[in-house]
Amino acid sequence: MEQIIRILYVEDNEYDARNFQRELEKSSLTTSLLTVNTIVEAMSYAEKQDFDIVFLDYHLPGENGLSLLRTIRNRGFSVPVVIITNYADPQVAVEMMQSGASDYIPKSLLNTDGIEQCIRNSIRYSELEQVRKSVELSLKSAEEKLSTIISYTPVILFSVNPNGELTFAKGRNLGSIMPGGDELVGESVYEIFEDHDEFIGQIKIALAGNEVTQSIKFGNTVYQISCTPRMSAKGKVEEVVGIAYDVTKRAEAEESLLKAKLLAEQTSKAKQDFIANMSHEIRTPMNAIIGFTNLLEETTLDEVQKDYVKTIQMSGENLLDLINDILDFSKIEAGKLFIEKEEFVLRDTISSVERVLKGKADEKRIKLIINVDPEVPQHLLGDSNRLYQVLMNLVSNAVKFTDKGKVTVEVNKMSQRDGKVKLKFIVADTGIGIHKDNYESIFESFSQISSGTTRKYGGTGLGLAIVKRLIELQQGRIKVSSKLKEGSTFEFELQYALGKNKDSEMEQVFVETLDLSVFKGKKVLLAEDNRMNQKLIENVLGNLGIDLKVVNNGKEVVDLLQNEVVDILLLDIQMPVMDGFEVANYIRNNIQGPKRNIPIIAMTAHAFKEERDACLKAGMNDHIAKPIQKEELLRIMHHLIVQNAENMEQPMVDISYLKSLSEGNDEFVTEMLTIFSEDTPVLMQQMKVAVDNEDWKKTSQLAHKYRSPLALLGIKPIEEIMNKIEYSAKEKSNLSEIKVLFKEADILTLSALEYINQQLVK
């Protein structure tokens, strides 16, 4: 059933009222009509609000229709009101609509169609208006709700428009970042936060289209603030929306954690330094004690004295081992022990172990058997010092805990592919054995199976703990198997990359066969301030026919070299007046002529790689750690003397290729040599600058440039170095080596230039 539309018609003219009624009845609408002719009457009905539409004559006696309309609206009645006018004055129409009329209609149009259409429109309009109002209302209430929630949450929300004006800001602690609170909305953030450059910077970044999060301190509160740009479809920033939340507690926790970490690191570093210093301090006198005991042993002694000397010797060696162990262990614990990757010859490492422990095994009348599978490649890339240390520990344990029978060291190849080889090392003995229950505990630090062990065998219980960690640092694993009273077997596997050098027969005979006659008549200069060490080396080099000169500091070396020629310089690093580095630097850079290239062997307190590298970097040829081992010193000296002799014999420069190019034109040869001798110093100077500035691109270009004259003049050794430098600098690999290589090339270049200049004079 169609709804009845209830109409209130306010009209004082009876004729018009009749006409309206008649026309309305003809319409298709179902309506009920109440006509009143005064405003007072109209008001009393309008108040009851039971009309769907009011028609209101504009011209009413007393008051006009408009004031009635305003009253209706002021009271909050939303019923549609249509004003009936005599004439269609647009001014009046506007005024009526502004006062809240839903429509107006001239009297001339009050016919059936006009009325019907007017009613339909107005009711429709009124319905829409109702919907709009309710939507508006719920929107407002949602907004209020959201705003209330934001105001109570511990975050701050804000937005900024592209002009930098704050368009929104709410949150419980808003006052703590802007004391003006949300009153400041509409103002420029650059002014509001003029004292907070960091925050302004962040907003600028976001306004440029980037999302940024950072922590910023406002007073005592730290806020984590995230700013996100909101982009238009065209990619322009429309506004920046931001959220800030209080992270003071977290920041405080982080800070105290950082402080604690720093403190722990400092403490650990202090401990580390202390241990390193202490072991250094102990090692220096130990060096003398052990050295002199060795010398004492060689003098004529009675049995009791011999016994005492042996005891001193053993205790000294034990103490030195202990110091080294503690130093290593503390380095491992501090995560400061790094595994090197350098080319080494496996056989040499194993021979060193054998050489040191053979004596002990012989003493105990047990066999020490080394068995390296011929399949095992000898040139490997890895840390030979650490392998030496591991084997030394295991083999010396095996010798120590074995009273009869044998100790065997076996090395087998497990697999080889992609330039890598996996080796298995087995150290087996026929000694006292280890109980199953102790398989794990022996690898813990300071652990020995029984307290009697120290008394009987010595040791600290650190050895295997270090071994295990060293193997694990190299991605290997160690395991033990044993039978009490029958013996123990320790096994571990390590993987190595294959070295560049190929194995050759030559190396097999390398070590033990030093030709001592090369030392005869050689001039050796020893620079060492410690009297005991001086004496020690004097004795070591005593019977070889060496002409040894001893000076007490670096200054004396420099002075002596002004007038004398020496074959080898043994240079202590820590000396008064002028230390070893200063001396090396002076010789390599300030001395002219062949003396500039004299072989220098550094003597340092530790065998650390860093020390060795520093010595090589300073232009020294080799390095030996104290306490000086006779054999090692002789080996190094031998090598340098032989190498130097070879260098002397065959000139580094081979101009035969150049000559063949010249086809007998000597002028051409001279011209080329002259160009080389003029250009090379300039080129080397440029390269020095590039290397010093670590400008690798330039370094690689210059090395490349230098290579062609080198090839032309057949200067192979320098050419090879330039090749390496060019490659390393280009690939940015082994950069630390470049400086060492350059130094070497610099020295060689000087020799080459000297040779060429001599040729030119001839």
Pick the closer one to ligand ADP by CB: 417 or 485. Answer: 485
Contact flag: residue 442 with ligand ADP (CB under 6 A):
yes
Which CB sits closer to ligand ADP, 124 or 435?
435
Is position 212 an interface residue for ligand ADP (rule: CB under 6 A)?
no
Q: Which of 5, 46, 398, 605 binds ligand ADP (CB under 6 A)?
A: 398
Minimum CB separation of residue 316 from ligand ADP in Å reads 16
Task: Please state the closest distance from residue 279 (CB atom) to ligand ADP, in A.
Answer: 17
For the bound state, the minimum distance from the C-beta of residue 386 to ligand ADP, rounded and expressed in Å, comes to 16
The residue among 184 and 449 lying less far from ligand ADP, judged by its C-beta, is 449
617, 622, 623, 624: CA torsion to nearest 10: 180
| Closest listed residue to residue 749, CA positions, set 693, 686, 668 | 686
Task: Choose the binding region for ligand ADP from 93-101, 442-450, 548-556, 634-642 (rule: CB under 6 A).
Answer: 442-450
Q: Is the dihedral of CA 699, 705, 708, 713 positive or negative?
A: negative
Q: Which is nearer to ligand ADP, 355 or 456 (CB)?
A: 456
Contact 313, 293 (CB under 8 A): yes
User: Looking at beta carbons only, is 249 or 455 nearer to ligand ADP?
Assistant: 455
Give whichever of 55 and 401 is closer to ligand ADP, judged by the CB atom.
Answer: 401
The stretch near ligand ADP (CB under 6 A) out of 84-92, 113-121, 304-312, 457-465 is 457-465
Reading the block at residue 35, the tokens are 């006509």
* Tally of CB atoms within 10 A around 701: 17
| Pattern 422-441, ligand ADP, x by CB under 6 A | -------x-xx-x-------
Stretch of 46-54, 57-65, 344-352, 448-456 contacting ligand ADP, by CB under 6 A? 448-456
Q: Which of 511, 513, 461 is nearest to 353 (CA)?
A: 511
- For ligand ADP, the binding residue among 110, 449, 514, 748 (CB under 6 A) is 449
Q: Which stretch binds ligand ADP (CB under 6 A): 189-197, 237-245, 383-391, 397-405?
A: 397-405
Shorter beta-carbon distance to ligand ADP: residue 55 or 329: 329
Q: Is 562 helix (H, G, I), strand (E, B) or coil?
A: helix
SS3 476: coil
State the nearest-atom distance from the C-beta of 349 to ligand ADP, in Å.
19
Closest distance of CB 412 from ligand ADP, Å: 20
- The correct pick among 164, 405, 461, 717 for binding ligand ADP (CB under 6 A) is 461
Does residue 463 interact with ligand ADP by CB under 6 A? yes
Q: Are 442 and 456 in contact (CB under 8 A)?
A: no
Does 460 engage in binding with ligand ADP (CB under 6 A)? Answer: yes
By the 10 Å C-beta count (0-12 exposed, 13-18 middle, 19+ buried), 478 is classed as buried
Classify 76 as helix, strand or coil.
coil
By C-beta, is 460 or 533 nearer to ligand ADP?
A: 460
Cβ-based neighbour number of residue 344 at 10 Å = 21
- My answer on whether omega of the bond before 627 falls inside 30° of 0, hence cis, is yes
Task: Mark 5-44 with x for binding to ligand ADP (rule: CB under 6 A) and - for no binding.
Answer: ----------------------------------------
CA separation, residue 102 to residues 91, 115, 118 (Å): 16, 14, 10
Instruction: Annotate 369-393 with DSSP letters as a single string.
Output: EEEE-TTS-SEEEE-HHHHHHHHHH
Nearer to ligand ADP, 160 or 332 (CB): 332
Out of 20, 218, 344, 401, the residue judged to bind ligand ADP by CB under 6 A: 401
Q: Which residues pair with 104 in a beta bridge?
A: 83
Residues 6+ apart with CB under 8 A from 418: none
| Cβ 438 vs Cβ 406: under 8 Å | no
Amino acid letter for position 541: L
CA 359/CA 365 separation, integer angstroms = 10
According to CB under 6 A, which one of 78, 453, 629, 686 is a site residue for ligand ADP?
453
Which residue number, 462 or 570, has a Cβ lying nearer to ligand ADP? 462
Contact predicate 369/350, CB 8 Å? no
Chain centroid to CA 303: 61
By CB under 6 A, the count of residues binding ligand ADP is: 21
Following DSSP, what letter does each residue of 169-200 receive, concatenated?
A: EE-TTHHHH-TTGGGGTTSBHHHHTTT-HHHH
For 608, residues 6+ apart whose C-beta sits below 8 A from its C-beta are none
448 scored as a contact of ligand ADP (CB under 6 A): yes
324 or 734: CB nearest ligand ADP: 324
Q: Is 712 one of the binding residues for ligand ADP (CB under 6 A)?
A: no
Query: x-or-dash pattern for ligand ADP, window 473-502, by CB under 6 A?
Result: ---------------x--------------
Q: 472-476 long-range CB contacts below 8 Å, 24 or more apart?
A: 473/332, 473/337, 473/339, 473/386, 474/339, 474/382, 474/383, 474/386
Please, which of residues 140-169 interact with ligand ADP by CB under 6 A?
A: none
- Count the neighbouring beta carbons within 10 Å of the beta carbon of residue 139: 10
User: Closest CB to ligand ADP among 462 and 615?
Assistant: 462
Nearest distance from C-beta of residue 472 to ligand ADP, angstroms? 15
- Closer CB to ligand ADP, 143 or 444, in the complex: 444
Indicate if the alpha-carbon torsion angle 194, 198, 200, 201 is positive or negative: positive
Show the site string, 99-138: x = touches ligand ADP by CB under 6 A, - = not: ----------------------------------------
Minimum CB–partner distance for residue 628 and ligand ADP (Å): 25
Among 464, 526, 729, 738, interactor with ligand ADP by CB under 6 A? 464
Give the residues lining the site for ligand ADP (CB under 6 A).
393, 397-398, 401, 429, 431-432, 434, 442, 447-449, 453, 459-465, 488
